[in-house]
Structure 1
């Protein structure tokens, strides 16, 4: 049961600030559709009338130039619409942001960036509220545990076994490998990882929308004997539902997706029709806590598995962890194992034998000093 029903959750923001941090990396992060040559982290700071501050993060990986644009959206379009007004709680503030930016979404044709900016502000408001009330967010939202299972993510197509070994040494026992780089490369990597697994370990696959329905169907045939835990985004997100249902019927491999949905209706539709087995909203990309928590709980109640998507910085990872704990179910926390020193400083993982343990610090429990120095 959430503690919110007995708490004062009014929100009156006096300031919203945004900062972009670009962290250098030695090895680019590769997907089937693009490459990251650094690790961008778009930080959001909100200040409440009580003087308490909270921190959020906005998804901003692609395109490279898009991160700076999202900073401007927060400063010029979101902050002026909500600063100085009192809302009955984070949910009311979130609804106001969506309503007041509706026409801008339509005019610009930018529902994604605007939703991402709103999500980051929402995360910051919830962090602020947790600090103000003195509770870690997982407890404030009614979690029954502060210990959640995790998996290593973002494993590039080059040097796969070296990356798996490194992740294993860090405490991971599940490993997600990227595919969609041509059948020869994909076959070699899948076979190598499947044969390298130790007792109690599993592997997962992510195609990042890299295959057509025909290619996905063909790939399932050679992947299936290796028995991955799931195949993620094997087709573009806008592929007709009938093709998703056909793929699901044709394979025993569980299918994951949802990080690129733009509407609550899309999550509701897949929860009803069950053409995904694992549903993966990204809290920093759409919905924040306000929308993602009810979506996650509906997914769990429907018999599917909620797994947060996260490939960003430390605040997004922390928010995903608290959300997963609060949602319940058997989902896994996505932990990007690519180089990102700033992410690791902001939210050092307490990871052991494939499990992450959250602290009892109020709010998100992040390293505030590491975030705050970017605002000075």
Structure 2
């Protein structure tokens, strides 16, 4: 029995309210997934019949308008189902949500939106249980310490200098830059970044699944002299297993991935393939605590480095921090977008110091949401 299965704390849901937050960016950012013109987040507040309240977050980064669709799934699909019955605990509710939504997922072809909606609600259910049992989730779920490592993640390669300089001053000991497309356009930036941070600070590359499968191994060799800790998502997640193992066998750095895996079967294949030196599930995309805690503990037991993916708001960031702490990973590190992100930074009560985040002893997620700030950034739910 896993840690999440062993905790029974009855769940009876009264209401679920989605909050879509959107803050336009002064300067849009180009990515392989499209132009990013705003900071977005989809938060969910779950209230039980006893008046308890918990917060979670649904992944909605791409496309930006996807937040509206996922909010409707939460309100029109997940809320009525959870209100219709009670559950022995969050894990039972998580399993039941997946089973009840399976036909919808198959008929619509929308595994991602359905999985993310369930994950966000699951996080909120666990927040409620942690508060009820008066324990921080990292400890309730088996963690030995609430102090976690964090690395600075940049959404760019060119124009990175001021961000790396600021990150070094804030105590970050590892940095990840993007290198989507032909690495010839990015390699100079990595050489310069290595010169800036020195030989003892971690440096990683994220290709956002943009490299051709038949060129990925050759392209990875171009970074041999930079000293990368890992290369993330060089090829698409649905590439044949042999493509991943070939890349891992010849690349001069560890291969990372996992943020776009959306089922237990996908993670099982990744764990057994031997291709990944680093695995990076995103608990707001798939799993919540109920799915991600057992997965994280399996990753660590396999000797694979566990670095949760996270590039969103405060509930998701804190949940991912609790997850990393619960995994007791000896070399794990949490992704932390170093650029200002209002849905995260305006609500967080914790800072990165010396490359670490202290999750703390507050029960549940330990997050207090400011209702005035929420209303400042909130946009209306779509009519349906």
Query: Fold match, TM over 0.5?
Result: yes
The 1-side partners of 2:372 and 2:143 are apart by 26
- Which segment is superposed worse, 364-373 or 189-198? 364-373
**Structure 1 runs not aligned, ≥5 long:** none
CA shift in 2, pair 1:2/1:220, >3 Å: closer
Tell me by how many angstroms 1:35 deviates.
Answer: 2.5
Correspondence 1:121 to 2:121? yes
Instruction: Name the residue aligned to 1:165.
Output: 165
Instruction: Name the residue aligned to 1:57.
Output: 57
User: 1:225 aligns to what SS in structure 2?
Assistant: coil
CA shift in 2, pair 1:230/1:74, >3 Å: same
Instruction: Name the residue aligned to 1:70.
Output: 70
Instruction: Name the residue aligned to 1:359.
Output: 360
CA shift in 2, pair 1:146/1:265, >3 Å: same
Provide, for residues 39-60 of structure 1, a one-character-per-residue CA deviation record: whole Å limited to 9, x for no partner. Answer: 1110101011221100000010
CA shift in 2, pair 1:149/1:371, >3 Å: farther
- After TM superposition, the structure 1 = structure 2 runs for residues 162-311 of structure 1, keeping only pairs within 5 Å, are 162-198=162-198, 200-311=200-311
Correspondence 1:23 to 2:55? no
Provide, for residues 170-199 of structure 1, a one-character-per-residue CA deviation record: whole Å limited to 9, x for no partner. Answer: 221211000014333211111111111136
User: 2:190 aligns to what SS in structure 1?
Assistant: helix
TM-score normalised to structure 1 length:
0.95
The 1-side partners of 2:37 and 2:175 are apart by 22
Provide, for residues 273-296 of structure 1, a one-character-per-residue CA deviation record: whole Å limited to 9, x for no partner. Answer: 221111111010001000011111
Tell me by how many angstroms 1:14 deviates.
Answer: 0.8
The 2-side partners of 1:275 and 1:3 are apart by 27
CA shift in 2, pair 1:370/1:278, >3 Å: farther
User: 1:352 aligns to what SS in structure 2?
Assistant: coil
CA shift in 2, pair 1:237/1:3, >3 Å: closer
The 2-side partners of 1:202 and 1:5 are apart by 36
Greater percentage in helix: 1
CA shift in 2, pair 1:182/1:348, >3 Å: farther
Give the paired residue count.
376
**Structure 2 runs not aligned, ≥5 long:** none
Tell me by how many angstroms 1:358 deviates.
Answer: 1.0
User: 1:266 aligns to what SS in structure 2?
Assistant: helix
CA shift in 2, pair 1:158/1:349, >3 Å: farther
Q: Is the 8 A contact 1:155 1:164 kept in 2?
A: no
CA shift in 2, pair 1:281/1:188, >3 Å: same
Tell me by how many angstroms 1:169 deviates.
Answer: 2.2
